Amino acid sequence: MTNNTSRRFYVDTSLGQMHGQIYPNKGQTIVCLHPMPYSGRYYETFCKTLTETTSFSSLCLDMIGYGQSASINNPISIQDYARSVIEALDQLISDKFINKDISLLGFHTGSAIANEIAVMEPKMINKLIFVTYPYFEASDRKERLDSIGKTVLDENIESLRSMWDFSVANRAEGVLLERALSNFTDQLQSTTKGWFGFDSMFNYPSEERLLLQKKPTLILNDQSSLTEPTSQANEIIQDSHYLELENTKGAIFELNTDQIIHHISEFLLT
């Protein structure tokens, strides 16, 4: 087991510096790819619990344009995000900061980035874990692209109301205020550019790209707006292992952490 002390780092990529945090331990490393518009801090509770209760190490990266990684001025693609992660992991392995025993965990947008990494560099990773997958076919993606909400800020504090209500005021019961404030801070960090990740997701042809990766993939589904899309993604992944989480009411990486760790431990250790 570990003393649960994390280490922060920066690594260069072709899109700029990428910030990350590692929770070192004895076993293989689970690389966590966050949903947008948040950062790697989204997984803080999960990573602490994981390294306290298993021998896994965990590593969280801030995607380019989010958290403390380099900023960008225009949307980039899921392929761009994936390439920057590959470059970062290559460097971290070369520097012996982490070993080569790597699996990827993605949530929402992070699942698509994980999938693309498996397509682009299949030899880099062992297995994939999708905790929900935002699967939308072309017509639905077009509709969602056209309706992306873009935050417009002004000097009135009410311009931040929707972000505050979503992350803090209306947070799921059981989520600590400190964690909710951390998510709100991440949203503030990206503010008017937070929609870039949604743009990349709704331009990503999952119906084509999911067919191209052949890694063993654990798919964990919850009760949310992505329940049906995740089920649809499972139907076209070649080597999928599908499970439904129990008693989910949102904020699953805060409230269903033990359940998620149990399932991924069984998956990665068999």
Q: How far, CA to CA in Å, does 164 sit from each of 80, 181, 249? A: 30, 9, 19
Q: DSSP 3-state assignment of 219? A: strand
Q: What is the pLDDT of residue 1?
A: 44
CATH class for the region spanning 7-152+196-268: alpha beta
Q: How confident is the model at residue 270 (pLDDT cuts 50, 70, 90)?
A: confident
H-helix or E-strand spanning residue 18: strand 16-23
pLDDT by residue (tens digit) across 210-241? 999 999 999 999 999 999 999 999 999 999 99
Write the CA distances from 21 to 8, 36, 40, 129, integer angstroms: 4, 17, 8, 19
Q: What's the pLDDT tens digit per position in 239-260?
A: 999 999 999 988 999 999 999 9
Domain boundaries, the chain: 7-152+196-268
Across-strand partners of 136?
none
- Is 70 exceeded by the pLDDT of residue 4? no
Task: Report pLDDT for 190.
Answer: 79
72-118 per-position pLDDT tens digit:
999 999 999 999 999 999 999 999 999 999 999 999 999 999 999 99
Question: Is 182 exposed, middle or buried, given 0-12, 13-18 or 19+ CB atoms closer than 10 A?
Answer: middle
- Closest listed residue to residue 60, CA positions, set 12, 91, 22: 22
Residue 257, both tokens: 């952490």
- At residue 117's C-alpha, the angle toward residues 71 and 50, to 5°, is 85
The CA radius of gyration of the chain, in Å to the nearest whole number, is 17
Q: What would the mean pLDDT of 19-47 be, rounded to a whole number?
A: 95
260 in Cβ contact with 253 (< 8 Å)? yes
Write the pLDDT tens digit of every residue in 134-177. 999 998 999 999 888 777 777 777 878 888 888 898 888 888 89
Q: Pick from 101, 108, 109: which is nearest to 80 by CA?
A: 109
Q: How much is the mean pLDDT over the chain? A: 93
Q: Are 196 and 76 in contact (CB under 8 A)?
A: yes
